[in-house]
Structure 1
Amino acid sequence: MSKTLDPVTLAILNGRLEQIADEMDATLYRSAFNPIIAEARDACHGLYHAETGATLVQGTRGLPIFVGAMAFAVKAVIDKVKKDGDELAPGDTYLFNDPYAGGTHLNDFRLVRPVFRDGELYCWIASVGHWLDIGGNVPGGFNAKATESFQEGVRIPPVKLIANGVMNRDLIDILAANSRVPASNYGDLNGQLNALDLGEKRLADVLEAYGDDIVAAAFEAFSDRAEAMMREAVRALPDGVYTFEDYLDNDGITADKLTIALDLTISGDEMTLDFSRSSAPCAGPLNIAYSTAAACCYVALKHVFTAVPANAGCLRPITFNIPETTLLGVKPPKPVGGYTETILRVIGVVFGALAKADPALATAGPFGTINALSVAGYRDDGSRYVMFSFFGGGLGGNPESDGLNHANNPISMATIPPAEILEASYPVKFTQWALRPDSAGAGRHRGGVGAVYELETMTDADVFLLGERGIYPPLGVAGGGDAALNRFVWETDAGERSPELASKIADVRVRPGQKVRIESPGGGGFGDPKTREPEKVARDVRLGFVSREAARETYGVVLDDKGDVDPTETRNLREGAAA
């Protein structure tokens, strides 16, 4: 069927269908109550296959990790409909946040709706967004001490929120009763419903303009094209088995490190990703479910093979081995609230293994933690607040350039919420929001620079952090240096303190005026630092990215009193180091 469509029609339909998801994203961003959706864009939308739930179309602005996982989420709804013998009707909408059934963690709520044409199910349309608080032991949900999912919040399996056009108010009441900030969640829910309504209307416009069969044929053609392009990309890599390992600091309960190990096999135009050597399920919240792990790989491959369209077809040549005996394929009630840290390491090992297959793909490690910070308390008027935010750091150097400074992680298109928005929304004040000197891994192409975020609370407040890279730094490659470690401190009457388990803490209380500070890592460096152009090092010093001491000791570059390169001293220092 797809062969009958000419390239021009396919291109137009691809643009119009992507625009549907983009417009749904924009609708939610502009109507959500909580800054993590409205400003950070922690959400996504898409269209999914009627029978399999496979991704048909995604937008260009949605969170990629959600896009990869949503196919599993839609399939979970399809399975429920079949199991229960549900009768579907136009407008029916399922809601759930179950991280073991196509979810990620409990804060991420999914809405899934069937789309009908002439009384027949045509496809599914879906929305996901990060709600601010859904109960559990810790405001905001990032409980670094959780040993069961029950301690992370309320878990909702796929249930009908809307049936035959009628909202289930009892379900709304249950959700409200299990949140510290129910008004925020209710606002986000309505934003997602509005996005679904708009997406359904825009899809109907396209179907009316082109016909149901033509659009269905386009969906098939898009998937076939993605498969062909992925097979071509894999075929270009040499056959073999490529291994890579990286580590998580700990699980928040014990100090033991966790290993994420990948054996990547290339055989012709097919690839197998085998994670069976990874650590066993852990006691703390650094576990993830199979669907989340597979979604990470999807994100990693899309980063590397940028020309391949992002739909289910690109995964047809890929086989996953993610056993339940590892922390990457857990079942309930294993805690998964810290999934953001684990998926970053999964993406990193995929990058690392592919770089062994083709060194031209090598990129040094990014800062590798979202530093999930929650600050909670009561305003002067007695109302409760929960501030949650994530923060940036440096990306890794690569064969062509330095890494980005103060960037977001490769899991997302999200943006770091602005300080002004957080200060306007919550009783906090930022006293530092700056780049962190000497945080980047040194190299011919250095890593991006991390950042310093310091805030003080205006009320008595509880503070919670779930982060990583406090023990195992972002890695340099090809002779490049590792980046600085993550660091978190808070003020007490006796001075500053840091967590015993590096970047995880769940029991800090601060008074008004006391500060908490995150010093995020930079990215790893690429190549020998002694081969970096001295003028680039001098510029880094002038900009405050690198100290004079590091310029001399790490890069072998000597600067004069004016900050210019001293060519003679630099040459002598570098030649002496080489000898």
Structure 2
Amino acid sequence: MTKTIDPVTLAVLKGRLEQIADEMDATLYRSAFNPIIAEARDACHGLYHAETGATLVQGTTGLPIFVGAMAFAVKAVIDKVARDAASGRDHLQPGDTFLFNDPYEGGTHLNDFRLVRPIYRNDRVFCWIASVGHWLDIGGNVPGGFNSRATESFQEGVRFPPIKLFRAGVINEDMIDILAANSRVPTSNFGDLNGQLNALALGERRLASLLDDYGEDTISAALDVFTRRASALMRENLRALPDGVYSFEDFLDNDGVADEPLKIALDLTIAGETMVLDFSRSSPPCAGPLNIAYATAAACCYVALKHVFTDVPANAGCLEPITFIIPETTLLGVKAPRPVGGYTETILRVIGVVFGAIAIAAPDRAMAAPFGTINALSLAGYRNDGSRWVMFSFFGGGLGGNPLSDGLNHGNNPISMATIPPVEILEASYPVMFTQWALRPDSAGIGQHRGGLGAIYEIEALGETGADVFLLGERGKFAPFGVNGGGAAALNRFVFDTPGGKSSPPLASKITDVKIAKGQRVRLETPGGGGFGPAVSRDPAKVERDLRLGYISTDAVAFGVKS
């Protein structure tokens, strides 16, 4: 019999459970060595079901793309525990902690390290807690891991299946040695690992205190209620949409190896309170690193739907009415050792086609495409004392126009709550100088509600040995689309200095093996977001404001916009 809990207690428990995950997030942000976690918040924490691994509670500041993927990751650990117990090889016990980065077992790409720990009460697993964070470098051909020419995962870094880092509370020092030996920046990774372990320790203490206060039965009943509510809210949202099949497709520029476009195609079916997302018409697995695994594809669909249905909480119950069809014959459901290092670009296109299909089904909920690339830029080299440095960062752009407003200027992509690392932090950490960090005029899609503006970043190498440059980006050939008559945004553009002058990558937004000397620069011009609605319907006062602020030029005003 399910225990009944009054609404006030449910509200208190919801707040305390979310606070546990939020405190875990904050602990890692404040202790990580690497700016991508400490400043950009490329991490997340949560509580997961003891038997299924399903998401129970998620922090409010963690990376949304990790929410769905972490459920698959915890399930991978649960399955390993079951296999080991059945074979007599090993058994689970309090104080065990698993570490892994396998992108085909609930991971995303090799830089994202997951730590998963069982929480015991009365000699049984009550739930699991987990942490994931983006480590700066884990080997592979390219510093930072974003190898745009990788044709197998072995070229992207070292892959770890779920392995016990701690056994009954005792650390496996050999694992620490292996991790250190396979990174260009082992001190950074070690600092991030300890930050994640501290976050798990805090989460375990906070959860134990909550269980002591209310008891396991009450907390279990509350978690069950939260799951049922998430499912009910999602079903209610789906019933509000018209039944039918809605198809949308978009393209990736190329896979970094062959200069051929890759199609991401979605057939979205709404039938009553259920939805089917069928990606069967998408391109087959590609040679380069733009593939993703099933868990990653499902997770980014979850993120897209959360943007559309904002009232649904971050709980696995919201996925109960959703069916995913993601065949292994597509680049969205690959197995090892297909390269997946550029997964961020592909999931952004998946999120975009979900937005596009929903825009057909419900134009009043439509959102134009965001800029749709993280522009994973790595610069690396040696300091004067001979030590290695690796700077990795992602960069912002414009978000799409929507029914209520213009898109956000210089925001982050909808896969994350992450912030772009501050220029001051990057310049203090690495021998580089940003000579420009500005909004990019005329980069947004025109419309009744225009898209947000992209940005311009120009970086100069300061070290005596210069810097090696690596970029894995997108939207260099297929611009972010508008909806309901809105215009497309500007294309992505990357330029770098060479002895013979300025040059751009032959594959538009992907490059390796470029070297810039001291004093030379790289320049990134990111796309804006697509526009919403016809430009002729735009308020002339808004056009005048955009012109006054330098967001648009007179040429852009003349292009289909009344003033």
TM-score range, shorter chain: over 0.9
* 2:97 partner letter: T
- Contact kept, 8 Å, 2:148 with 2:511, in 1: the verdict is yes
Distance in 2 (alpha carbons) for counterparts of 1:519 and 1:64: 26
Q: Which residue of 2 aligns with 1:426?
A: 430
Query: Aligned runs of 1:229-244 on 2, under 5 Å?
Result: 229-244=233-248
Distance in 1 (alpha carbons) for counterparts of 2:358 and 2:241: 9
1:532 aligns with 2:538: yes
Deviation at 1:480, TM superposition (A): 1.1
Query: Aligned runs of 1:6-25 on 2, under 5 Å?
Result: 6-25=6-25
* 1:369 partner letter: T
- Contact kept, 8 Å, 1:55 with 1:71, in 2: the verdict is yes
Distance in 2 (alpha carbons) for counterparts of 1:407 and 1:143: 25
Q: Which residue of 2 aligns with 1:499?
A: 505
Q: Which residue of 2 aligns with 1:384?
A: 388
Distance in 2 (alpha carbons) for counterparts of 1:269 and 1:454: 49
Give the match's secondary structure for 1:4: coil
Match of 1:490 among 482, 489, 496: 496
Deviation at 1:2, TM superposition (A): 4.9
Task: Deviation per CA, 1:458-517: give whole Å up to 9, x if none.
Answer: 122100000000000000111111100000000111111000001000111000010001
Q: Which residue of 2 aligns with 1:159?
A: 163
Q: 1:358 to 1:168 in 2, by over 3 A?
A: same
Distance in 1 (alpha carbons) for counterparts of 2:104 and 2:394: 23
* 1:457 partner letter: A
CA RMSD in angstroms, aligned pairs only: 0.8
1:520 aligns with 2:526: yes
* 2:36 partner letter: I
Q: Which residue of 1 aligns with 2:73?
A: 73
Query: Aligned runs of 1:268-307 on 2, under 5 Å?
Result: 268-307=272-311
Task: Deviation per CA, 1:415-465: give whole Å up to 9, x if none.
Answer: 000000000010000000000000001111110000000000112210000
Q: Which residue of 2 aligns with 1:551?
A: 557
Q: 1:2 to 1:409 in 2, by over 3 A?
A: farther
- Contact kept, 8 Å, 2:355 with 2:368, in 1: the verdict is no
Distance in 1 (alpha carbons) for counterparts of 2:380 and 2:124: 48
Distance in 2 (alpha carbons) for counterparts of 1:355 and 1:482: 15
Q: Which residue of 2 aligns with 1:401?
A: 405
* 1:487 partner letter: R
Deviation at 1:365, TM superposition (A): 0.8
Deviation at 1:530, TM superposition (A): 1.9
1:319 aligns with 2:323: yes
Match of 1:174 among 178, 200, 213: 178
Distance in 1 (alpha carbons) for counterparts of 2:34 and 2:359: 39
Task: Deviation per CA, 1:493-544: give whole Å up to 9, x if none.
Answer: 1111000001000111000010001000000111111221222111101111
Match of 2:448 among 444, 447, 465: 444
* 1:177 partner letter: A
* 2:43 partner letter: A
- Contact kept, 8 Å, 2:84 with 2:91, in 1: the verdict is no
Q: Which residue of 2 aligns with 1:118?
A: 122
* 2:251 partner letter: Y
Distance in 1 (alpha carbons) for counterparts of 2:541 and 2:124: 66
- Contact kept, 8 Å, 1:48 with 1:124, in 2: the verdict is yes
Give the match's secondary structure for 1:188: helix
Q: Which residue of 2 aligns with 1:87?
A: 91
- Contact kept, 8 Å, 1:249 with 1:471, in 2: the verdict is yes
Match of 2:349 among 342, 345, 363: 345
Distance in 2 (alpha carbons) for counterparts of 1:218 and 1:380: 57
Give the match's secondary structure for 1:57: strand
Give the match's secondary structure for 2:201: helix
Q: Which residue of 2 aligns with 1:542?
A: 548
Deviation at 1:553, TM superposition (A): 3.0
Distance in 2 (alpha carbons) for counterparts of 1:335 and 1:446: 36
- Contact kept, 8 Å, 1:2 with 1:221, in 2: the verdict is no
Paired residue total? 557
Give the match's secondary structure for 1:453: strand
Query: Aligned runs of 1:203-282 on 2, under 5 Å?
Result: 203-282=207-286
* 1:539 partner letter: R
1:35 aligns with 2:67: no
* 1:497 partner letter: S
Task: Deviation per CA, 1:372-399: give whole Å up to 9, x if none.
Answer: 0000000111110000000000001111
1:329 aligns with 2:333: yes
> TM-score of the superposition, structure 1-length normalised?
0.95
Deviation at 1:210, TM superposition (A): 0.5
- Contact kept, 8 Å, 2:376 with 2:394, in 1: the verdict is yes
- Contact kept, 8 Å, 2:363 with 2:484, in 1: the verdict is no
Distance in 2 (alpha carbons) for counterparts of 1:404 and 1:123: 38
Give the match's secondary structure for 2:165: strand
After alignment, is 190-199 or 541-550 more displaced?
541-550
* 1:471 partner letter: K
- Contact kept, 8 Å, 1:2 with 1:220, in 2: the verdict is no
Give the match's secondary structure for 1:215: helix
After alignment, is 533-542 or 138-147 more displaced?
533-542
Task: Deviation per CA, 1:319-351: give whole Å up to 9, x if none.
Answer: 100000000000000000000000000011111
Deviation at 1:87, TM superposition (A): 1.7
Q: Which residue of 2 aligns with 1:576?
A: none
Q: Which residue of 1 aligns with 2:475?
A: 469
Task: Give identity over the alignment, percent.
Answer: 76
**What are the ranges of 5 or more consecutive residues in structure 1 without an aligned counterpart?**
558-579
- Contact kept, 8 Å, 1:468 with 1:504, in 2: the verdict is yes
Deviation at 1:554, TM superposition (A): 3.6
Give the match's secondary structure for 1:329: coil
1:185 aligns with 2:189: yes
* 1:552 partner letter: A
